[in-house]
Structure 1
Amino acid sequence: MPSLDMTIEKLLAYEGRNPRPADFDDYWERALTEMRAVDPAVELVPSSFQTPYAECFDLHFTGVRGARIHAKYVRPKHVEGPHPAIVQFHGYYSNCGEWLDKLAYASLGFSVVSMDARGQGGSSEDTGGVKGTTFNGHIIRGLNDHEDNLLFRHIFLDTAQLAGIVMNLHEVDENRVGALGGSQGGALTIACAALEPRIKRLAPMYPFLCDYKRVWEMNQAANAYAELKTFFRFFDPQRKREDDIFTRLGYIDLQFLANRIRGEVLMGVGLMDAVCPPSTQFAAFNKMTAPKSYEIYPDFGHEGLPGFTEKTIEFMLGL
């Protein structure tokens, strides 16, 4: 079998390379305390786009550090009483996408909310000095500042805050909420379920933001991870701070949040993935203690995985 990384046997035993900060748990408890103190000031605005069987809204809320976060929210018309919901996350630099990719779940009786990650290609703000987009370099944002100012800390908190907002909607059954996404969306799916453990089922596809040191040692700091190489070249060209930098990145390394997940997990992996190497994904998967399974695509990389969308729908129908 062609291989970019490890064999399945080694992947299932792999425990990760990136260092875990000694105060990791305190860090995230402090972050969640900050999030819970925020008044989200939720606003639902009907969209100009509507369908016969689902209502479409722009949802806005205030996240940590005052950023106004945007999401698209779709609510089925044909379901009476509380029903399940899906929280959906997009890939790096992108946005929450078109209404169309939310309507399949709405037709099955789910509400769907899809978040614009702050400062990326959608409408959510990044308030770190300017309002509006900052688009790129979000992994390294805050590495030379206090660790509480890492940008992905705030983005991870946004996912949990949004899930809680959806669970509090009168039409949603708070015990039947799932999360899904691919690449950065897979990463945010894991973050969401770790920081909001009421997420019942999650389907991350080739999750990003796991085991940064492994990415570095594989010489795969390219594509979505290219900013790691950029950071060292400009700010630590002799790599004298390498241990400190990777330890700081450990605060936003999802392998260390994975054991907080309580919902059932279905992960999709392409073994030829050169963007998010399979070993980095399994560093997180292997630390999950909740019920879990994976779907392997031996000849596929960071691309569509045939049939995984349908497998995800079948999985979410179990909510």
Structure 2
Amino acid sequence: MPTIDMPLEQLGTYAGRNPKPADFDAYWARALAEMRDVDPAVEIVESGFEVPGADCLHLYFTGVGGARIHAKYVRPKHAKEPHPAVLQFHGYAHHSGDWIDKLGYAAAGFSVLAMDCRGQGGRSEDRGGVKGTTFRGHIVRGLDDHPDRLLFRDIFLDAAQLAGIAMSLPEVDAGRVGTIGGSQGGGLALACAALEPRIRRTAPSVPFLCDYKRVWEMDLARDAYEELRTYFRLFDPQHKREEAIFERLGYVDVQHLADRIRGEVMMGVGLLDTVCPPSTQFAAYNRIVAGKRMEIYHDYVHERLADFEDKALQFMLGM
């Protein structure tokens, strides 16, 4: 069988390579306290997109740093209340997608909230203002500033804040909220469930944002992780700060958050994935202490996994 990474039996025990900062728990306690101090000023407005069975709305809220964050909000018209909800997260540099992508869940009785990541392809704001480079990529945004200025810290917090907002909606059953997404969306689905432990079920596929140093050591810092190579070439060409750089990235490494997840997890992985290598995904999966299962696709790369989204819907229906 072809392979680009460790044998499957080694993947099942792999513990990750990227260092975890000593003050990691204090870092995220401080971050969550900042998030909770924000008045979200939630606004829900009509979108102009109309279908018979659902209301398609825009939801805006204020995140950390004062950025206004946008999510598409699809609410079934005839579902029982309160009813379950899913939070949907998109791939790197993209956006929350078309309305039709959410209607399958709405038809099954779920509200859907699909977030636009700040500074990427949708309507959410990026307030900027960090020291150091902002060239080519969000992983390195804020890397030369205080650790609290890492952009993915704020994006992780936006995901957790959206979860809390969803749980506060009168039509939503706060005990039946799940997260879904692929690639960056998969990483955010996990991060959201870690930072908002009331999330009941999580179904990520091919998650991004895990075990940066392993990506580097496999010489796969291209495509989604290309900005790491660019950063070193431009700002640390002799790698004198390599250890410190990867340690700082550890604050926003999903593997170090994974043991906080309390809801059930179903993860999908393609064993020929050279964008987010399987070992990086297993680094996060192996740290999850809640109920979990891995759906393994032996011949798949970084792509949509056959039937996985159908399995995710069935998984969510069991909440």
| TM category, shorter | over 0.9
Deviation track 1:60-117 (CA, whole Å, cap 9, x = no partner) reads 0000000000000000011132000000000000000000000000000000000000
Please list, as runs of the form range in 1=range in 2, the aligned pairs for 1:181-220 lying within 5 A after superposition.
181-220=181-220
**Per the alignment, in what secondary structure is the counterpart of residue 118 of structure 1?**
coil
Percent sequence identity is: 68
Deviation track 1:30-53 (CA, whole Å, cap 9, x = no partner) reads 000000000000000011001111
Please list, as runs of the form range in 1=range in 2, the aligned pairs for 1:44-123 lying within 5 A after superposition.
44-123=44-123
Structure 1 residues 135 and 52, CA gap change in structure 2 (3 angstroms): farther
Unaligned stretches of 5+ residues in structure 1: none
Aligned 8 A contact 1:120 1:135 in 2: no
Q: Which amino acid in 2 is paired with 1:28?
A: W
Scaled by the length of structure 1, the TM-score of the pair is 0.98
Tell me which residue corresponds to 1:125: 125
Q: CA RMSD in A?
A: 1.0
In the alignment, the residues of structure 1 paired with residue 89 and residue 115 of structure 2 have an alpha-carbon distance, to the nearest angstrom, of 6
Tell me which residue corresponds to 2:247: 247
Q: Which amino acid in 2 is paired with 1:165?
A: I
Tell me which residue corresponds to 1:13: 13
Unaligned stretches of 5+ residues in structure 2: none
In the alignment, the residues of structure 1 paired with residue 244 and residue 80 of structure 2 have an alpha-carbon distance, to the nearest angstrom, of 53
Deviating beyond 4 angstroms after TM superposition, the runs of 4 or more aligned structure 1 residues are none
Please list, as runs of the form range in 1=range in 2, the aligned pairs for 1:164-313 lying within 5 A after superposition.
164-313=164-313
Shift of residue 135 of structure 1? 9.6
Deviation track 1:3-22 (CA, whole Å, cap 9, x = no partner) reads 01011100001000011100
Q: Which amino acid in 1 is paired with 2:146?
A: H
Aligned 8 A contact 1:87 1:114 in 2: yes
Shift of residue 129 of structure 1? 3.1
The question of 1:41 aligning with 2:28 is answered no
Deviation track 1:154-187 (CA, whole Å, cap 9, x = no partner) reads 0000000000000000000000000000000000
In the alignment, the residues of structure 2 paired with residue 17 and residue 29 of structure 1 have an alpha-carbon distance, to the nearest angstrom, of 24
**Per the alignment, in what secondary structure is the counterpart of residue 117 of structure 2?**
coil
Structure 1 residues 275 and 98, CA gap change in structure 2 (3 angstroms): same
Shift of residue 136 of structure 1? 4.7
